[in-house]
Amino acid sequence: MILLVTGTDTGVGKTVVTAAVAVLTEGLRVAVLKPAQTGTALGDDDAATVRRLAGPGITTRTLARYPDPLAPLAAARISRLPALTLDDTLAAVASLGEDHDLVLIEGAGGLLVPMGHGWTVADLAMQLDCPALVVARAGLGTINHTALTLEALERRRIEAYVAIGSWPAHPELVHRTNVDDLPGLCVGVVPEGVGEWPHARFRARAAQWFTPEFRELLD
Ligand SMILES: Nc1ncnc2c1ncn2[C@@H]1O[C@H](COP(=O)(O)OP(=O)(O)O)[C@@H](O)[C@H]1O
Ligand SMILES: [Mg+2]
């Protein structure tokens, strides 16, 4: 199974949700692919975060790294490094799929961010014919951002699920009404703060953050 983890925006918790999905099902061989990692000059390394949270049993692969914290295509241009191609990304997914049961792909930013020349992660999901998990914020503005992302996915006939990336420890009225009114099928709510947890605790708790139906889908 292949799953694209995308989001309504950058900084919404895609990496933490990816790590949680990676440990949801016991006994699966799981790989996490980060096609393009930007902001490496600031130390950003989502694959390292996934390994820290999910533990060393997860395969991680990053195809392109760029120093500036920009969208991948802009980051490639500014640093005069080659842009990532859709074909190379598809080849990496296929290669990981040969010896893993679940391949998770974490995009950069949201669904329509330029990943390379003329392609976004939406194109990747269409080529792979795989579902997308949309990570959304809990706070004000999330209904609109989530609806826009779901509409873009629906238009491309990409199956979509929604998860909240960081649910506040002390939810306010806006968070509670948002979770009630969030469009799409919400399959997960990941509490805030778990991105700092040691991996044994993270692994032990992750299953509680997702619906049983979503866990079954991954099996
Ligand atoms: N559930 C969470 N628990 C703790 N920290 C979180 C959580 N979700 C997001 N964060 C923090 O918020 C920031 C953005 O999260 P990240 O997973 O990197 O988002 P994205 O991958 O969507 O850019 C990071 O600094 C991360 O540590
Ligand atoms: Mg990330």
The string of pLDDT tens digits covering residues 25-39 is: 889 999 999 999 999
Paired sense of beta strands 102-106 and 30-38, if any: parallel
Pocket lining: 160 vs ligand 1, CB cutoff 6 Å: no
d(CA 119, CA 124): 8
Ligand 1 pocket mutation, candidates 15, 34, 46, 196, criterion most atoms within 8 A of CB: 15
The pLDDT of residue 170 is: 97
Q: What is the token pair recorded at 84?
A: 């990532």
Pocket lining: 10 vs ligand 1, CB cutoff 6 Å: yes
| Residues of the chain with confidence (pLDDT) below 50 | none
The pLDDT of residue 219 is: 83
d(CA 109, CA 15): 11
What is the signed CA dihedral for 178, 187, 91, 48, rounded to 10 degrees? Answer: 80
Pocket lining: 188 vs ligand 1, CB cutoff 6 Å: no
Instruction: Find the 133 Cα to ligand 1 centroid distance in Å.
Output: 16
- Nearest ligand 1 atom to alpha carbon 15: 17
In 67-185, DSSP assigns E strands to 102-106, 132-136, 160-167
Residue nearest to atom 11 of ligand 1 (CA): 13
Q: Is 34 labeled as catalytic in the residue annotation? A: yes
Distance of CA 156 to the CA centre of its chain: 18
Q: Which bin fits 122, alpha (ψ -120 to 50), beta or left (φ > 0)?
A: alpha
Instruction: Find the 196 Cα to ligand 2 centroid distance in Å.
Output: 14
Between vectors from CA 217 to CA 47 and to CA 157, what angle results, nearest 5°?
Answer: 85
d(CA 146, CA 144): 5
Catalytic residue among 3, 25, 33, 34: 34
Paired sense of beta strands 59-66 and 132-136, if any: unpaired
d(CA 87, CA 116): 11
Q: What is the token pair recorded at 57?
A: 């049993």
Instruction: Find the 76 Cα to ligand 1 centroid distance in Å.
Output: 24
Domains of the chain from N-terminus onward: 2-218 (3.40.50.300)
d(CA 93, CA 86): 11
Instruction: Find the 14 Cα to ligand 1 centroid distance in Å.
Output: 7
Pocket lining: 195 vs ligand 1, CB cutoff 6 Å: yes
